[in-house]
Structure 1
Amino acid sequence: MSSGSIEERFPALATSPPALAWLRMRADLGLAPRTLDAYARGLSEYLTFCTECAVEPVEAGRDHIARFVRHLTERPSQRPTPGDPVPSPARLANATVQQRLTAVRLFYEYLVEEGLRMVSPVGRGRRATVGRPGGGKRGLVPRQSRLPWIPDDQDWSAVLAAAAREPIRNRTMLAFAYDAGLRREELCSLRTDDIDPARRLLRVRAETTKSRRERVVPYSAPSGELLRAYLAHRGELSHARGPLFLSESRRNPAAPLTPWTWSKVVRRIALAAGVPRFATHTLRHLCLTDLARAGWEIHAIATFAGHRSPETTMLYIHLSGRDLAAKLASGMAHIHDRRVALLAAAGLMATP
């Protein structure tokens, strides 16, 4: 999370002591900063909604939850950014809606455990889902599963052309984000002692990862050349060991570069390239998809990416089209051989 207390970043939380107590408890239990930030954001929106509805969150009923669901599914995803030529999507993404509702559901489960409510107004799903073994349960909002977007060759070339005009730090970060398939927080959390230039390896520390799993991944020779040039430049800012990528702003010179600053850098590159869908996580998606296209096995990609579940890794196998292409090629070859055999049996392919 960024600097500043939760209350300062999300003022609506200050109106609900139980909400603050729950979030602080989750933080004390070691919840990942990014997840904590998402919970705080979702719960803040819900508390604001309750204020607009003139209802105390502790006393809200299922009807209020239903209205909040409607609010989430119908409201615009964000306000237009001044000077941004790309209009924002009309509605919140399904994954964002699910994330907001998860925060609210966990908050009410906490209230029940603390004896502040008898039952939670947010269920995990009560309606049977057709086609699922045992009947299954569906949540308040049907969950959609979409493959991540990755740039085509033309988009990628445009991004690289725009990135070539960036300072050495930004070019190095872009190369490492793709080369090692790093998440935004993992990239910005790299330290000078995480790098092994002799073997071209970098260590992604457990505390910086989403899965809390440490891993060691390689990077390419071109990325190594960029790193060498950046380290020479970094020496002009600071000779101290510590965070690898440093801020060069007048306000925070030599301070660790934050994930939010990196997001702004990538957004600037995306707009300059004319590829507005390009974002920080796109680099990771593209890397893992390319590994799947190159024939890497699922367990190898999962280890490289630090995935807990093979199901997550399968997204990139599907996105690469590798399995489907192999099956199509195999099937077409079988059909082709059969048809050739039939033609030969009919005498249509006899040698003249």
Structure 2
Amino acid sequence: MTILPLSVTVCLVSETGLVGPADDGGAPAEPGEAPPGEPGGSAGLPPALASAREAFVAHLRHERGASGHTVRAYSADIAALLEHARRMGRTSVPELDLPVLRSWLARQRASGCARSTLARRAAAARTFTAWAARAGLAEADAGALLASPKARRPLPTVLRRDEAAAVLDSAAALAADGEPLPLRNAALLEVLYASGIRVAELCGLDTDDVDESRRLLRVVGKGDKERRVPVGLPAVRAVRAWLQEGRPALRTPFSGPALFLGARGGRLDVRTARRVVHERLAATPGAPDLAPHGLRHTAATHLLEGGADLRSVQELLGHASLGTTQVYTHVSVERLKATYERAHPRA
């Protein structure tokens, strides 16, 4: 059995902060691994388990390229699993057998955890045990036979076509005066709806990621996977107006190549982008209150309703599995049923 030295794993997980001023919300750099004594840390764990957890977090961040959100969630889940194992008298990774994993999930369920939370924690446990087996920390993958409840997948709330048009038209009207922030907001709303990209992907765009002539965006998604995403003419025009009239007014020496900037010239923060979406939807009569992910749901649903095939929508959204994309077919089926019930004389 090989256990990575604690000193090696610790040095792998440190990260530098953002260069330049924070964006609108003054957001700090993405936090790294929780230090010992904080939620998700290794304080109190036996040395072998603490070392394994820290090496696993480094693996997620540096080898798998997982998002900061995923790293934080899995880090906390595995810390909780290993603490449960410690209470059961297990002090090393090979002692994490299937009964320990099942006991941990059973305890979570008894405490009232939602099915979706249980499913995520089971996935974290399986990812950890599979990694441990590959890394030589355990002889076998104890989580390979670990079952978890299927998380219920409620149908996402989406905008109707007229609601989406109203949101974008109102943003364009505010941008007509040529002020930088309204121009930026109109462009980011158009891009979110036109492309269906994630809000973190939007904030990560650089100016050279926009190909106006071909109407394509170069997007770097989860796991640092790159894809090309088409956008329509309204989005291209809104981005062009922002680049020509809005961005130069906010640009500072710290702006770098970021496409969307905050009020102080730094790269646009995800929280600011979310606030923009919420504010514009709140100002649109009848529109539901959605986060940026709601615009992603809306774009996918409208594409399918317009005749796009599921495989193309999967590629557009950057989903690794077609099954993830299929949730949008349920939305369309629900609308089909509603139309049938309104229109058929014997519905």
Q: Which moved more, 1:103-112 or 1:41-50?
A: 41-50
For residues 270 and 298 of structure 1, what CA distance do their matches in structure 2 show?
A: 27
Aligned pairs for 1:114-129 within 5 A = 114-125=135-146
Secondary structure of 1:214's partner? strand
1:203 aligns with 2:217: yes
Q: Distance in 2 between matches of 1:44 and 1:73?
A: 17
Q: Deviations over 1:36-59 (max 9, x none)?
A: 444334324434655777864734
Instruction: Describe the shift of the 1:226–1:52 C-alpha distance in structure 2 as closer, same or farther (beyond 3 A).
Output: farther
Map of 2:77 onto structure 1: 42
Query: Kindly, what percent of the aligned residue pairs are identical?
Result: 24
| Residue 99 to residue 269, structure 1, CA distance change in 2 (3 Å) | farther
Q: Which runs of 5+ in 1 are unaligned?
A: 77-90, 126-138, 337-352
How many residues of Structure 1 are paired with residues of Structure 2 in the alignment? 300
Shift of 1:146: 3.8
Contact 1:178 1:287 in 2 (8 A): yes
In the aligned structure 1, how far is the partner of 2:88 from the partner of 2:275? 35
Residues 47 and 208 of structure 1: CA distance in aligned 2, closer, same or farther (over 3 Å)? same
- Calculate the TM-score normalised by the size of structure 2: 0.67
Alignment correspondent of 1:279: 291
The yes-or-no answer on 1:141 pairing with 2:167 is no
Q: Who is 1:133 aligned against?
A: none
Q: 1:26 to 1:270 in 2, by over 3 A?
A: same
Cα offsets for 1:255-309 (capped at 9, x unmatched):
2223344345545667787988622211111011011111223343334333444
Comparing 115-124 with 18-27, which one deviates more in the overlay? 115-124
Distance in 2, matches of 1:224 and 1:62, equals 56
Q: Specify the structure having the higher radius of gyration (Cα).
A: 1
Partner of 1:313: 325
Kindly indicate whether residue 21 of structure 2 is the aligned counterpart of residue 21 of structure 1.
Answer: no
Q: 2:188 matched to 1:173? A: yes
**In structure 1, C-alpha distance between the alignment counterparts of 2:239 and 2:288, rounded to whole Å:** 26
Gaps (5+ residues) in structure 2? 1-14, 16-28, 44-49, 176-180
More off after superposition, 304-313 vs 270-279 = 270-279
Whole-angstrom CA distance in 2 between matches of 1:161 and 1:68? 51
Cα drift, residue 192 of structure 1: 0.8
Which residue in 1 is equivalent to 2:121? 100
Matching residue's letter, 1:281: H
Q: What residue in structure 2 maps to residue 235 of structure 1?
A: 248
Where 1:236 maps in the other structure, the secondary structure is helix
Q: Secondary structure at the match of 1:122?
A: helix
Match runs of 1:1-352 below 5 Å? 3-8=30-35, 12-15=40-43, 16-34=50-68, 35-47=70-82, 56=91, 58=93, 59-60=95-96, 62-73=98-109, 92=114, 94-125=115-146, 139-151=147-159, 167-168=181-182, 169-198=184-213, 201-205=215-219, 207-209=220-222, 212-221=225-234, 224-225=237-238, 227-229=240-242, 231-238=244-251, 242-248=257-263, 253-263=264-274, 265-266=276-277, 278-321=290-333
In structure 1, C-alpha distance between the alignment counterparts of 2:224 and 2:235, rounded to whole Å: 29
Q: For 1:276 and 1:74, how far apart are their aligned partners in 2?
A: 35
* Per-residue deviation, 1:157: 8.6
Partner amino acid for 1:150?
V
* 3-state SS in 2 of match to 1:321: helix
CA contact (8 A) 2:304 2:332 kept: yes
| Separation of aligned partners in 1, 2:278 and 2:250 | 25
1:311 CA drift (Å): 3.3
Which whole-Å CA distance do the structure 2 matches of 1:183 and 1:176 have between them? 10
Q: 1:301 and 1:4, CA in 2 relative to 1: closer, same or farther beyond 3 A?
A: closer
Counterpart of 2:267, as a letter, is P
Match of 2:19 in 1: none
Residue 295 to residue 99, structure 1, CA distance change in 2 (3 Å): same
Deviations 1:1-20 (A, max 9, x none): 95343234965334411111
Is residue 211–residue 308 contact of structure 1 (8 Å, CA) maintained in 2?
Answer: no
Q: Distance in 2 between matches of 1:160 and 1:46?
A: 46
